[in-house]
């Protein structure tokens, strides 16, 4: 799946990932390939995803202060208020 993470200031990440965990307002949730369409608000917490590049996987963790995530057709778009890497 393709993940794009943006803040009002810049694009933080754009690339392929195999899974992602988000701090939803009502609790954390995980997104995998071919997930159903979803829109959710984010609370304060960590976004954790496994990015893939040239058949290598790496776990990435970022702290977010809130925002919105949309999942549609294997594309995950995160509009974050603030990201701390």
Domain count, the chain: 1
Look up the domain containing 80 and give its range: 2-84
Each residue's pLDDT tens digit, 29-75: 999 999 999 999 999 999 999 998 888 899 999 999 999 999 999 99
d(CA 40, CA 27): 11
pLDDT band for position 5 (cuts 50, 70, 90): very high
pTM for this one?
0.90
What is the predicted pLDDT for the residue at 24?
A: 94
Residue 66: give its domain's CATH number: 2.60.15.10
**Tokens for 69?**
């995530």
Q: How far is CA 49 from CA 22, 24, 58, in A?
A: 9, 14, 8
Classify residue 69 as left (phi > 0), alpha (psi -120 to 50) or beta: beta
> CB–CB of 4/27 below 8 Å?
no
């Amino acid at each position: 799946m393709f993940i794009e993470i943006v803040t009002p200031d810049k694009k933080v990440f754009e690339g392929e990932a195999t899974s992602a965990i988000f701090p939803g307002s009502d609790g954390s949730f995980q997104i995998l390939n071919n997930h159903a369409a979803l829109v959710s608000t984010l609370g304060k917490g960590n976004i954790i995803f496994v990015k893939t590049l040239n058949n290598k996987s790496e776990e990435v963790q970022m702290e977010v202060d809130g925002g919105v995530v949309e999942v549609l057709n294997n594309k995950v778009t995160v509009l974050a208020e603030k990201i701390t890497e």
